[in-house]
Amino acid sequence: MDETALREAICAHGRLLFGRGYSVGSAGNISVRLPDGYLMTPTNSSLGRLEAARISKLDTEWRHVSGDKPSKEVFMHRAVLTARPEAGAVVHLHSTHATAIGCLATPGEDAPIPPLTPYFVMRIGRRLPVIRYYRPGDAAMEGDIHEASKGARAVLLANHGPVVSGSTLDDAVYAAEELEEAARLALLLRGLPARELTPEQVDDLLNTFG
Ligand code: 13P
């Protein structure tokens, strides 16, 4: 996809995510890697009403070069995109159920959501590290997210929300959607004798779908 198409795709995905309540108000942000830098949603923008021409553009050194002022979470996106050279996009949401899991007193360090469904395993993988609470926009979060992202496609920010990467924008959005649904299932099943996928079934999924 060229830059024009990617700008339109960010707006289209933003509208769909917002329309289903995966982000509310001006929460959430999206970034996409380009050959000459990055596209990022502007700060304080609603994902439901993005305008392609106003999306922020940053150069390869993460300097703002055009469009509106970028998201204050630029450090969060940089942390993931520099840790995962194979990632082409990052989606950060405050989606309700994933955020709820991140608000649990003891969410579990690396696997706060159990492997209940194949698509959660296929899209997110084995690990979902929980990152300790940082104030939104705090540059200090970059190191922790960077380290955790080396071995995980997604991380969960305590009391804040998920940060999900993918090889393409579509992949990152699909993974963020699966993460939210898996979190919803995990909460629905809390206290019930749920049947989790076995380690062998998880291995089989990862060996088959990567
Ligand atoms: P921005 O409006 O700066 O993108 O911040 C929104 C957000 O989700 C903070 O975590």
**Encoding tokens for residue 182?**
């898996």
Determine if ligand 1 sits within 6 Å of the CB of residue 44.
yes
Question: What DSSP state is assigned to residue 42?
Answer: B
Checking if the pLDDT of 77 tops 90, the result is: yes
Q: Taking the domains of the chain in order of start, what are their residue ranges?
A: 3-209
Determine if ligand 1 sits within 6 Å of the CB of residue 29.
yes
d(CA 204, CA 105): 32
Per-residue pLDDT tens digits for 176-205: 999 999 999 999 999 999 999 999 999 999
Spacing, Cα 79 to ligand 1 middle (Å): 15
d(CA 92, CA 102): 14
pLDDT in the model for residue 109: 78
| β partners of residue 190 | none
pLDDT in the model for residue 151: 96
Q: Which fold does the domain 3-209 belong to in CATH?
A: L-fuculose-1-phosphate Aldolase (3.40.225)
210: pLDDT confidence band, cut at 50, 70 and 90?
Answer: confident
Per-residue pLDDT tens digits for 111-170: 999 999 999 999 999 999 999 999 999 999 999 999 999 999 999 999 999 999 999 999
- Report which protein residue has its CA nearest ligand 1's atom 10: 136
pLDDT in the model for residue 146: 98
Model pTM greater than 0.75? Answer: yes
Checking if the pLDDT of 108 tops 90, the result is: no
Per-residue pLDDT tens digits for 15-38: 999 999 999 999 999 999 999 999
d(CA 42, CA 207): 38
List active site positions. Answer: 73, 119
